[in-house]
Structure 1
């Protein structure tokens, strides 16, 4: 992280008026902005991002610095965070996987150069890191679904992979970039079904707690698809529109006002719901009826990944 000169000798110039921007994914605040925005948006100072990586199992990202402020997303173990400013115990910057901007505790981060490059994702609801390649050995830590870890050679028995400080079972991880059939038995809906009963957590996006768009983003990540963070962004970026006369099928996405879920079959949806305060499966008709009480258009879009 290095501040850039904006004084008399600065080489930055704003060309034309500032356009509209999404503050969720634009690293710009009143006093500072990402140097990549120089010439596009005015700021008294610009900074070069410092590449960091989440070393904690997970860490909440907040709208403002301080634990009492709203959580807006979550950074998972092994994910990158580009730091533009550090003040006290908080770092301000943006996530490497989706560009989401916010504040995160400094203690949850480690310089990326000091951490191995992740090779695998936790694809089970959670993974345990054992001291030895034996499920009877002690547990070093627990990582939630979606966490990224660097794995080396397999153990002698072939059931465990070596990590930096222990061993993880091969059934709990998958190589980063794995492609999955979207409507097959091992597709997005099957991955989401592992999370039934997980608590609803505003801003969460891990197997330990998550919101509706956090669920979809994580499941897409596990199928090798990069998805934006929020449901309106996902509606614009993911899949193709399903024709009005075409029935829904397993793996389809259904978008409602500020909400999204995955179909597990033609009639039922799996979603992280603030109504039930957990990840649940219920008839789509029931969900639509609840939203229809407050909206003239309860279903905004139906999308298919293929």
Structure 2
């Protein structure tokens, strides 16, 4: 069933003047349908009111097309929200609530958010964690969750574990969502050796801008999804490489990393195919070309 057929807004809207330029990655419109928020701004045959859903699998790719072999555009972790505009077959089309990034997600990986559903209270801050049947390390593990996953804790700590609806999680692997102030560089260091994956943004697999977005997001700073967006819209420009310090962002053509100290950078990259820490000078040499400088900008969040 096509969800949007029951979710269309039948009100008429008038447009005047040329349509504004938009970024297709974060503007919820396609040939047949658009988010109701764009009514009167961009033309579409139909407009839909988004239906909020939550990711109920450990992590899932947000894909560029409704196909398991389609390019991964981003990813959702357990407990993150997705605004659904259309359901066709086994796929939902919509956008991630935390950054408005568009794509397709398997409907089986999403659940409708109801008023009765408890809201997540904690976030996984270790590279990954497990849910166990009992509050002890020797208990049976039920599911693995990546860094960035959100979970509702239902009671008090018991023997170093916190209870949730599915079982128990190590308290040391979690932080309160309402009190997130984790050092982004410390988080990035924890992710060293995590596999590189285009579109990834969790402790399971991650790309360069996903690393930046995840680590700074868990420090309470909401950054855009892609490196060009991060370079254009966040931070204060630095003019000299000698100004660089821990936590600064360094941008290359289509790439970004976080300074681990004044000389070394942490980045998820396809050269090593994982999250790596290495000298900035070496990375700059790798990106050097005759078309322009290796480093396109340096910014401080």
Class of the TM-score when normalised by the shorter of the 2 chains = over 0.9
- Measured after TM superposition, the shift of residue 78 of structure 1 is 0.4
Given the alignment, which residue of 210, 213, 219 partners 1:217? 213
- Name 2:175's counterpart in structure 1: 174
Distance 1:30-1:191 versus aligned 2 partners, 3 A rule: same
- Looking at structure 1, the residues matched to 78 and 231 of structure 2 have their Cα atoms a distance apart, in angstroms, of 27
Does residue 31 of the first structure (1) align with residue 35 of the second (2)? Answer: no
Q: Report if the CA contact (8 A) 2:9-2:49 is conserved.
A: no
- Looking at structure 2, the residues matched to 209 and 229 of structure 1 have their Cα atoms a distance apart, in angstroms, of 15
Matched ranges for 1:16-95 at <5 A? 16-95=17-96
Deviations 1:212-245 (A, max 9, x none): 0011111011111111100011112322112427
Matched ranges for 1:195-206 at <5 A? 195-206=191-202
Does residue 239 of the first structure (1) align with residue 235 of the second (2)? Answer: yes
SS of alignment partner, residue 276 of structure 2: strand
- Measured after TM superposition, the shift of residue 206 of structure 1 is 0.7
- Measured after TM superposition, the shift of residue 23 of structure 1 is 0.6
Deviations 1:34-90 (A, max 9, x none): 011000000001111111000000110111101121111001110000111111000
Does residue 4 of the first structure (1) align with residue 8 of the second (2)? Answer: yes
Q: Report if the CA contact (8 A) 1:133-1:155 is conserved.
A: no
State how many pairs are aligned: 296
- Name 2:121's counterpart in structure 1: 119
Given the alignment, which residue of 257, 264, 284 partners 2:280? 284
Distance 1:130-1:295 versus aligned 2 partners, 3 A rule: farther
- Looking at structure 1, the residues matched to 69 and 58 of structure 2 have their Cα atoms a distance apart, in angstroms, of 21
- Looking at structure 2, the residues matched to 294 and 204 of structure 1 have their Cα atoms a distance apart, in angstroms, of 30
Q: Report if the CA contact (8 A) 1:3-1:45 is conserved.
A: no
- Name 1:130's counterpart in structure 2: 132
4+ residue segments displaced more than 6 Å? none
Root-mean-square deviation (CA, aligned residues, Å) is 1.5
- Name 1:297's counterpart in structure 2: 293
Greater mean alpha carbon deviation, residues 290-299 or residues 33-42:
290-299
Distance 1:253-1:47 versus aligned 2 partners, 3 A rule: same
- Measured after TM superposition, the shift of residue 105 of structure 1 is 0.4
Q: Report if the CA contact (8 A) 1:198-1:208 is conserved.
A: yes
- Looking at structure 1, the residues matched to 188 and 218 of structure 2 have their Cα atoms a distance apart, in angstroms, of 10
Q: Give the TM-score taking structure 2 as reference length.
A: 0.94
Given the alignment, which residue of 148, 151, 159 partners 2:150? 148
- Name 2:268's counterpart in structure 1: 272
Distance 1:179-1:131 versus aligned 2 partners, 3 A rule: closer
Q: Report if the CA contact (8 A) 2:61-2:105 is conserved.
A: yes
Unaligned 5+ residue runs, structure 1? 181-185
- Looking at structure 2, the residues matched to 237 and 279 of structure 1 have their Cα atoms a distance apart, in angstroms, of 24
Does residue 102 of the first structure (1) align with residue 103 of the second (2)? Answer: yes
Unaligned 5+ residue runs, structure 2? none
Matched ranges for 1:185-196 at <5 A? 187-196=183-192
SS of alignment partner, residue 217 of structure 1: helix
Q: Report if the CA contact (8 A) 1:176-1:224 is conserved.
A: no
Q: Report if the CA contact (8 A) 1:178-1:223 is conserved.
A: no
